[in-house]
């Protein structure tokens, strides 16, 4: 017990511990708080406080989207945009990058220029936990991305996608047509979408 107390006091009075705390605060400032203020967000966006953001001025998030904990939204330093559609749902630790280093031999990768390409995530897309989306990819509206997928190429709307590299493994079915409701004035008010569309196998 006494030894634990001594260890605790040593930590509390060690200036390196406080210096580290300062570094953490600074890190949270430049990687989470300040770039977040530059993101363009629609109404009702929910984003975990530990989402890591780069170049927030090149990120747009549609209304009602939900960005889970420890996600990474890294837009390009100069050009690469990240555009996230309405009601997109990100599980934890999704990683999106809008740039790649060049990989010519003979020069360290970190000294080579980056190639930036826009990333677009459609509306009503569900990205499962630890999905990785690489630069230049478009994920069509309504896609379901399985946990752990690495998306290297664009995928069409309503696909169910899984694996490394990610492949289309199925399609969401069209929402079933509900009986057409008739408005109080007697006019047709349009079909209601089923809340949970099912899935079908690819042709």
Report d(CA 81, CA 100) in Å as an integer. Answer: 13
Q: Is 150 near ligand COA (CB under 6 A)? A: no
12 and 32 Cβ atoms separated by less than 8 Å: no
Q: Is 142 near ligand COA (CB under 6 A)? A: no
Q: How far is the CB of 66 from ligand COA (least distance, A)?
A: 9
Q: Which of 48, 129, 150, 168 binds ligand COA (CB under 6 A)?
A: 129
CB under 6 A: which stretch of 12-20, 57-65, 78-86, 161-169 binds ligand COA? 161-169
User: Any idea which residue has 């975990």 for tokens?
Assistant: 48
Q: Is 128 near ligand COA (CB under 6 A)? A: yes
85 and 125 Cβ atoms separated by less than 8 Å: yes
User: Which residue lies nearer to ligand COA by CB, 35 or 128?
Assistant: 128
Q: Is 115 near ligand COA (CB under 6 A)? A: no
Nearest to 197 by CA among 163, 171, 166, 169: 171
Report d(CA 171, CA 158) in Å as an integer. Answer: 6
Question: Site residues for ligand COA, window 80-99 (CB under 6 A)?
Answer: 91
Q: Is 122 near ligand COA (CB under 6 A)? A: no
Q: Which of 29, 44, 113, 163 binds ligand COA (CB under 6 A)?
A: 163
Residue 138 is inside which H or E element, if any? Answer: strand 138-139
Residue 59 is inside which H or E element, if any? Answer: strand 59-61
Q: Is 198 near ligand COA (CB under 6 A)? A: no
User: Any idea which residue has 């379901």 for tokens?
Assistant: 144
Q: Is 155 near ligand COA (CB under 6 A)? A: no
Structure tokens at 9: 């006091």
Interacting residues toward ligand COA by CB under 6 A: 91, 128-129, 144, 146-148, 162-163, 169, 199
């Amino acid at each position: 017990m006494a030894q634990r107390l001594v260890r605790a006091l040593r930590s509390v009075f060690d200036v390196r511990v406080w210096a580290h705390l300062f570094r953490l605060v600074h890190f949270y400032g430049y990687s989470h708080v300040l770039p977040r203020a530059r993101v363009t967000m629609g109404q009702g966006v929910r984003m975990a406080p530990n989402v890591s953001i780069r170049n927030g001025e090149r990120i747009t998030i549609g209304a009602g989207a939900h960005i889970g904990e420890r996600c990474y939204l890294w837009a390009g330093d100069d050009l690469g945009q990240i555009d996230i559609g309405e009601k997109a749902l990100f599980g934890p630790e999704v990683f999106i990058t809008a740039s790649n280093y060049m990989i010519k031999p003979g020069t360290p990768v970190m000294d080579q220029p980056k190639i930036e390409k826009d990333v677009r995530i459609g509306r009503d897309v569900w990205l499962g936990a630890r999905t990785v989306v690489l630069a230049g990819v478009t994920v069509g509206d309504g896609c379901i991305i399985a946990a752990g997928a690495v998306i290297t190429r664009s995928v069409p709307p309503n696909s169910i996608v899984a694996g490394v590299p990610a492949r289309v493994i199925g399609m969401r079915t069209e929402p079933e047509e509900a009986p057409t409701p008739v408005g109080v004035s007697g006019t047709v008010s349009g079909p209601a979408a089923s809340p949970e569309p099912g899935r079908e196998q690819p042709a």
